[in-house]
Structure 1
Amino acid sequence: MSQSGASLQMGADWDPTRSARERLDQLIRSYRHVVTEHLEPLVRGYHPSMLTGSRDEYLKMLELTTKMNVVGHACTEVAGFEYDARRQHVGSLFGACCFLADSFIDDFDDATTRDYLDRLGVLLAEGWFDLRNDRERLFYVIVSRLFSGRDIMNATTRQAILRLYEAQKHDVELRLARTYSEARPGRSELNALRQCASNRSGHAILVLSAFLLPELDLNYIALIYTAGALIMFIDDHGDCFSDLAHDRVTFMNQVKYPERTLRRIFVSYVQRVYRGLPPGNGRDLLIAFLTRYYLTRLDKHRQQKLKTASGWAVYE
């Protein structure tokens, strides 16, 4: 993660302290090593081609999984538990699971995406689907190990998983039903895109929390969902040009003033998280991460705009 813009320097009560930012830096460095130790043997055993050539996809998976461990660490501390070695293993499996699941949805053609979602539904209902390649084999092994460590018949865990699956399906339906080249969406469609973005990452962070913690109380669920939803808005702004290049519609690439909109969402959501969660290292780490992620994705968007402005429009 970039070191640029370590703080918004707004003087707000939630603005991350220097100690919180330094702790975040240290954990990021530490978890890069942890996730490599957990994931490289699995990749080498079940999808070895990821370790050949430039290894770009593998390195991206490690980076996403590092972020997932930082978020998992914060969510665990917020609930009053230690983010111990077992939970670090769970966070690593979950990060890799999310990376591979997203690749099935985002990196192939429409027919493959629909087929994957149908087969994922079979996996969730029956516990198995036919494996067609090494990528699916790695995904199944990771999911199996993740599920074996948690009672997925627990009501909260089961509901979180199914809602995440429904959010993925809805996202794909919206994407395939409409392309960026069509007219600007109306208010109702924008609201649908916004809710879909919230659900995609809001439910993902709840699934992670459900795997890490024995129980989730209602206040915790609402606030952690808010933090997760914010991550998706930040992600979609950072990925704006990639999404437009693939004719992929998101809330953030359809609003008229995306950077202004994202800042408003960021401040509102972070204030809600700061004021709602109990004071402590977990809350401070989560907000430091959200702030860092927001600032680095703004940088990413601006840099890509300079390189590709002639190719894609940016509504700012």
Structure 2
Amino acid sequence: MKGKTVRANWSLRTKKFALPSVFLLCIFFFLAGLFGSSFFHHSQEDEYGMRAKLLEKSTAEETEHRLLHAGESGDDFVTSIPFQVLSWNPRALYFPNFASAEQCESIIEMARAELTPSELRLREGETEEGTKGVRTSSGMFISASKDKTGVLEVIENKIAKATKIPRTHGEAFNILRYEVRQKYDSHYDAFNPAEYGPQETQRMASFLLYLTDVQEGGETMFPYENGSNMNSSYDFEDCIGLKIKPRKGDGLLFYSLFPNGTIDPTSLHGSCPVIKGEKWVATKWIHTENLLQLRSKVLQR
């Protein structure tokens, strides 16, 4: 009888505590899941936040990486310059906020009084009269060493970091202004020896720094992107294909040559007519050869 009484009492106790125990277990697992989800969410936020902070670092800031000793021409810090791949054919990269508004305005003021009608390099057999209207902008050339403000030197150094090509391979800046209806028909920045004669050096890449916003028109266009329009009757004037709208302070890098040195046919590009507003751009053409050494060789001949 005693054994039965004990069993009955134990059964009664388990029945009393069964429901509260299940309830407590449910609360425990709910809280554990909520905490785990919150922890995972915050971990992701922390990861994305760290990536964003790395992109925000300026070129003059040191990082916590283990840095190696740099050579005379190297850097003693790690830099990150954000960019977007716009196209693989042609190879075109977009650099948002590459220069500040103050830097852009300084370049414009420096160039404004020195502008002259933009010139066009002629193919064999071409004349200025026959190519009139192809390029209607005005511009001027200035090297970073001639800029007393130092702004162009800062920009030139940043372009060298972005392209991984030394400053010595770059021409002087070509500062250009496009007013309403002014444009530049589609063309190549590299010079085909079959059309222009032998070339001691080639323009392998071009970096465009947009100095102003443009209210309407003025886009940089690539009509042959991914081979489009190459088999049609494209007349080099139509503004079609990949189009990049100028935004103040942003940069555009594209390559005119393949790695083997031949001209990329999809690098054909032009400047659409400005419809409203004014377009200012600073262009840096980058060559296959060290231009300082090349000039020195020419002088020694």
Output the TM-score relative to the length of structure 2: 0.28
More strand by share: 2
Q: Which protein shows a greater Rg?
A: 2
More helix by share: 1
Output the TM-score relative to the length of structure 1: 0.27
